[in-house]
Amino acid sequence: MEWSDVRIFLAVARTGTLGAAARALRVSHPTVGRRLRALEEATGQVLFQRTADGFVLTEEGMGVLPLAEQIEEGALAMERRLAGKQQALDGTLRVTSADWFGAYVLPPVLAAYATKYPQVQIEVLTGTRLFNLAQREADVAFRIVPFEEQDIVQRRLLQMRYGVYVSATGPAPIAGDGSGYRLITPDVLSGSFPDTAWLREMFPNAGVALHSNNRNVKAQMCAMGMGIAVLPRPLGDQTLGIRRLELDVEPPHREIWMGYHRDLRRLNRLSAFVDLTVRHLANSAFDASARSP
């Protein structure tokens, strides 16, 4: 039994199809099918039931799944430990964050890093998915909540300031009223998001125009005149067609956390990126805590 075959078994179990497993592992579709057949022949067991909807683990497959995951964890731990001892400033650095953070906060950091360390190839992975640092899906991650995973070295970078934005061509709504205006919120007006509860309190008579969990979408819809939006200041201040309202009370701040697996703390290309990020974001104009007395 080879570790590469165990990886394929786990990928098929997690994705349910050969094609999805191939994309996850960055190998060809035929390779996944061939190696899976080889694994079943080597073990003498049928590990998956082939159905019209995809591959489903058999009883035998379910029985060995925890063992395969243990093998994976050991192999990944070895990979992280060896990677953490690399001293050369080359190779690939994978960075993950939310879309807006990757587009409006990280570019100056990434540009400075690329200039200083041209031998390092940078991959930026953005979106709502939380990439797994233990499985080396990313080397360093930025989030608006603390990391809950084990063995993660993390630090709070800043308290991100948010602002209230409207179309640049329209009149400003009146705080405490909002009649005739509509809101662009991350969810229904349930108060489960800080933005939502705050907007409802500031503009109680405003209706709702749009719900979206994507900050970039909210900014563009705000520019189209669809409604009032709360946006991170780096995104809102750099988006054409919208303007920030000067209110007596600012929207709730959100903390920005940076984290990486402890096994990579001696990886030079990662350490250099962490140091550069901290220097660039220290006393940032968007850091609410830097303005605290």
What is the rounded CA–CA span in Å between residue 178 and residue 270?
A: 47
Q: Is residue 117 part of a domain?
A: yes
Parent domain of 20: 3-83
Q: Are residues 74 and 25 in the same domain?
A: yes
Ramachandran region of residue 162, left (φ > 0), alpha (ψ -120 to 50) or beta?
beta
Average pLDDT, the chain: 87
Identify whether the C-beta of residue 190 lies closer than 8 Å to the C-beta of residue 181.
no
Domain CATH for 30: 1.10.10.10
**Res. 206: pLDDT tops 60:** yes
Q: Is residue 236 part of a domain?
A: yes
DSSP 287: B
Q: Are residues 231 and 214 in the same domain?
A: yes
pLDDT at 80: 64
pLDDT at 265: 80
What is the rounded CA–CA span in Å between residue 194 and residue 84?
A: 38
Q: Are residues 220 and 172 in the same domain?
A: yes
Q: Are residues 259 and 230 in the same domain?
A: no
pLDDT tens digits for 81-128?
Answer: 666 555 557 789 999 999 999 999 999 999 999 999 999 999 999 988
Q: Are residues 188 and 133 in the same domain?
A: no
Q: Are residues 95 and 226 in the same domain?
A: no
Choose one of 59, 83, 107: the last residue of a domain: 83
Q: Are residues 153 and 275 in the same domain?
A: yes
pLDDT confidence band for 71 (50 / 70 / 90):
confident
- The reported pTM is 0.69
Query: 84: which 2 tokens?
Result: 């953490």
pLDDT at 291: 55
**Res. 203: pLDDT tops 70:** yes
Q: Are residues 215 and 240 in the same domain?
A: yes
Count of helix runs (H) and strand runs (E) in the chain = 10, 12
pLDDT at 140: 95
pLDDT at 88: 56
Q: Is residue 186 part of a domain?
A: yes
pLDDT at 4: 81
Q: Is residue 250 part of a domain?
A: no
Q: Are residues 95 and 124 in the same domain?
A: yes
Domain count for the chain, please give it.
Answer: 3
DSSP 171: P
Domain CATH for 100: 3.40.190.10
pLDDT tens digits for 23-69?
Answer: 888 888 888 988 898 888 888 889 999 888 889 999 888 888 888 88
pLDDT confidence band for 293 (50 / 70 / 90):
very low
Taking Cα atoms as reference points, which of 254, 243, 260 lies closest to residue 94?
Answer: 260
